[in-house]
Amino acid sequence: MKIIHEYNIIRLREGVEFVMNILEESIKKGFFEGISSIQEIPEDFKDSFSKVMTCLDYVPMHIKILDLGCGSTGNTIEHKEYNKKYEPWLCRALYSIRASSLASCNYEPEKTQIIGVDLGDLSKEKFFHKELNLLEKDILINNFEKGSFDLINASMLFNSPELERILTGKMIKDACKNTSLKLKEVLLPQIKTLLKPEGIFLYQGGGKELFSDEPEYISKFRNSEECMERFRPQERHYWGGQY
């Protein structure tokens, strides 16, 4: 496996533009419920989505992704204090694009999965999800198949105010050091168990140095396209189905 922090991802401008085009076309086709323009999507999500796509070589088909702390619309500090910023945008995007393209291609749904995990309410979401407290020991390996994920993503998980409140009883909006250290202790062995041998653990947001002492940590990550300096978007496909 590889451990990658978002700051160590090197992206080409063409790759970012390619991802933005995917989002714009998704909105035009109505694949985002309640969204009419790309300006309505939080900037943090656009950046996060671009980094996820970079890790996947811009070809996110026949893969399985687990999004830890995916966001919710429930009664959490994140939702109450930051409104739409912490909604499950990544899971919504990947699910919508995948579901809308399956009818026009041969990809099997079970081979292209996005699974979201959060402590908050996910009951109205269409993507497969579980409402779990990630501070609990073995919570992931008790709920998911070992060695089955290609990518495990965690955006802003390691400075979660809601988890800090549960852990310490204190209301802190950021810099949640206690939560970061406890989550690393609890989650890292499980993440290694759940990922495929070639899988990637991508963490974004707080805790930049949290995993830098791990042997799997990548200080500079270039995907295969970038290494060969030949990013050429394929003939435009929409999650497997042509535009």
pLDDT, tens digit only, all 243 positions of the chain: 999 999 999 887 878 888 898 888 888 877 777 788 988 888 888 999 999 989 988 877 778 999 998 888 777 656 666 666 778 888 888 887 776 665 555 556 566 688 999 888 888 888 889 999 999 999 999 999 999 999 999 988 887 777 777 777 666 655 567 788 888 999 999 999 999 999 999 999 877 889 999 999 999 998 766 655 555 555 444 444 444
CATH number of residue 109's parent domain: 3.40.50
Question: Are the C-beta atoms of 51 and 45 separated by less than 8 Å?
Answer: no
Instruction: Using the Cα atoms of residue 8, residue 196, residue 50 and residue 185 in order, give the sign of their dihedral.
Output: negative
Cα gap 126→12, rounded to integer Å: 32
Question: Are the C-beta atoms of 117 and 132 separated by less than 8 Å?
Answer: yes
Write out the residue range of the structural domain in which residue 116 sits: 2-242
Cα gap 158→176, rounded to integer Å: 7
Contacts of 28 (CB under 8 A, 6+ apart): none
Contacts of 84 (CB under 8 A, 6+ apart): 42
Q: Which residue type is seen at 90?
A: L
* Longest alpha-carbon distance in the chain: 52
Quote the pTM value. 0.86
Of 160, 149, 212, the C-alpha closest to 8 is 212
Cα gap 29→36, rounded to integer Å: 10
Question: Are the C-beta atoms of 38 and 17 separated by less than 8 Å?
Answer: no
Number of domains in the chain: 1
Write the CA distances from 158 to 75, 175, 186, 205, integer angstroms: 19, 9, 12, 8
